[in-house]
Amino acid sequence: MKLYEVFIRAKSGLNHRHVGSLHAADAQMALQNARDVYTRREEGVSIWVVEAAAISASNPEQSEEWFDPAMDKVYRYPTFYPLDKEVDNM
Amino acid sequence: MYSQGLQDAKGGPEPEGLLKAFQKRIDNEEKIEPRDWMPEAYRKTLIRQMSQHAHSEIVGQLPEGNWITRAPTLKRKMILLAKVQDEAGHGLYIYSATETLGITRDEMTRQLLSGEAKYSSIFNYPTPSWADMGAIGWLVDGAAIMNQVPLCRASYGPYARSMIRICKEESFHQRQGYDIMTVLARGTAAQKKMAQDALNRTWWPALMMFGPSDKDSKHSAQSMQWKIKRFTNDDLRQKFVDATVPQAEHLGLTIPDKDLKWNEDRGHYDFGEIDWQEFMEVIKGNGPCNKQRLRARQKAHDEGEWVRKAAEVYQQKQQDAA
């Protein structure tokens, strides 16, 4: 059996969100099992299953190089630009 | 110091710098995720604790499954079916979380069936009457909730997330159990006796569910430091007793402990000494139903084999046809 990752959309308008994984012989079986395992109480209106082997993931050991540069670009945030009191919100 | 004597997967010492950074993340309440660096002992402790937990959910279906076909009404039967189905689901959530630590499902199944892996001692007791369904839901699921609520904040992300799902579902389990007890306790004298007998049977094994006393618990200190345990066994047990005694009194049932007494100074109930020898015997495999439970699991595994095979052949055929 293959490992599938399961993603569920809680209601329309929201993103699919990872909820866990399960084993199945094929995608159809994975969907059916995901329905039984992860949506017994109206947790979702849509299910995606993806073979775990098909997912490429970033390396946590490179987290600093990958994600820290965003920290010193403070000019990307609106709070970087002070406004005169008279203008107040923008 | 916390890191002293910890060994990596090859038996060498864990790198001091990584260990320090790891503990700092945990102290800051950061979650550890599957691909993050973690000490080998943390990984092993989690695999042991989580797979035991998953096995308990799976084996826990058996004492209750025993009553599905004999539930007193259709309503009770539907409720019990839904509860047992939840237990299967809970087992699967935790198995899936445990697999992220690098152990396969097949290996966990093998460890359960061979008796290498443990599961909660409570499920090795028999359920001879319908009232046991009430006592299990009320007390066993009640004790499980006490244990599991703090685990929603466990340091390992996948474990904490599966616990959140489980806790949401578990409170139905406890309430339906108390509901069964309420109906029996307010019924005929014979029904009330059934409820009392079930309480007598389940009370002490339920207290044992919290594990050995703190002074004898060998895993506690490190697990607390790693935040895969938030309260000690004795603290949780006390919480459970304090919460449960008034619920029993409300139903006019008597907790089978002559030493049970409210202690004004402590603000807690004092209670009698647990029979630790019985606990150790059940853990070792000599409880009333250990063999029966494992036999039932083995049978289910063997009889399900053709289904697993058929699914794989079907998948292969679909692939060949494409």
Instruction: Map out the domains of chain A as residue ranges.
Output: 2-75
Q: Are residues A26 and B311, on separate chains, in Cβ contact within 8 Å?
A: yes
Contact residues, chain A to chain B, C-beta under 8 Å: 1, 3, 19-26, 29, 36-38, 40-41, 57, 59-61
- Summarised one tens digit per residue, pLDDT across range B198-212 is 999 999 999 999 999
- Cβ-in-10-Å burial (0-12, 13-18, 19+) of B32 comes to buried
Instruction: Tell me the shortest Cα–Cα distance from A26 to chain B, in angstroms.
Output: 6
Average pLDDT score over residue span B157-179? 95
- Band (B4; pLDDT cuts 50, 70, 90): low
Q: Are residues A22 and B96, on separate chains, in Cβ contact within 8 Å?
A: yes
pLDDT at B92 over 50: yes
- Summarised one tens digit per residue, pLDDT across range B240-295 is 999 999 999 999 999 999 999 999 999 999 999 999 999 999 999 999 999 999 99
CA B201, B142, B285, B306 torsion-angle sign: positive
Helix/strand/coil (H/E/C) assignment for every residue in B163-189: HHHHHHHHHHHHHHHHHHHHHHHCCCH
Contact call for residues B170 and B148 (beta carbons, < 8 A): yes
pLDDT at A70 (0 to 100): 72
**What φ, ψ does residue B89 adopt, rounded to 5°?**
-60, -45
pLDDT at B2 (0 to 100): 46
**Domain A2-75 falls in which CATH fold?**
Ubiquitin-like (UB roll) (3.10.20)
- Band (B1; pLDDT cuts 50, 70, 90): very low
C-alpha–C-alpha distance, residues B14 and A19, integer Å: 32
Report the percentage of chain B scoring pLDDT > 90. 89
